[in-house]
Amino acid sequence: MNNNPFAPMFELQRQSIDQGQKMIERSIEIQNEMTKSFAKAAESQKSAQEKGVDAWKSAIETSLNVVDATTPTDSTAFTDMQETIDNQFDTLNDIHTDVWESTERNIEAGADISEDMNEIFLSFVNDSVEMAMKTNKQFEERSETVVDATEVETQ
């Protein structure tokens, strides 16, 4: 039978250390989930932006077609203007693609770095918890020795 009056204190400390470790593990999981959510949100933003550019291009083309159809001329001015606008939209799409590819690479690199750092931190936490638990157990054993020695002397 354990007659150490300090045993409940040591058990409480171990439970507290264990809960702290679980809290840190959960916060790292949440951080990793948030990083993944950010990447998904960026992908949704890219898609929305592409659709916006397409809608803008379509509206301009429709306007030019209406003007061209209602203007009594055989001029190639509208055709030249439409080609110029198409070229500008092609350039915009190329820039858009380059920017988003760069953004996606940076997000992926940041997520990888974050995940690596979290793994290192979690390893450090786990090692520290293991050391704290061993130290706690050693102190409890020493306190039992002191309590046993004190009981022998007082009897």
Residue 6: inside a domain, yes or no?
A: no
Domain span at 101: 43-144
Q: How far apart are CA 88 and CA 94, in angstroms?
A: 10
Domain count within the chain: 1
Sole residue written with tokens 């960026």? 42
What is the residue whose two structure tokens read 């770095």? 113
- Asked whether 61 and 83 are in contact (CB, 8 A), the reply is no
> Does residue 95 fall inside a structural domain?
yes
Non-local CB neighbours of 5 within 8 Å, separated by 6+ positions: 147
Per-residue pLDDT of 65-120, as tens digits, reads 888 788 777 667 778 888 999 999 999 999 999 999 999 999 999 999 999 999 99
- pLDDT of res. 100: 92
Confidence of residue 1 (pLDDT cuts 50, 70, 90): low
Position 50 in a domain: yes
Q: Is residue 66 part of a domain?
A: yes
Statement: residue 146 has pLDDT above 90:
no
Determine, yes or no, domain membership for 59: yes
Give the pLDDT mean for 13-29.
Answer: 96
Taken as a whole, the chain contains a residue count of 155
What letters, b where the CB count within 10 A reaches 16 and e where it falls short, cover 102-122?
A: eeeeebeeeeeeeeeebeeee
pLDDT tops 70 at residue 147: yes
139 lies in a domain?
A: yes
pTM of whole model > 0.85? no
* 37, pLDDT greater than 80: yes
7: in domain: no
Residue 49, helix vs strand vs coil: helix
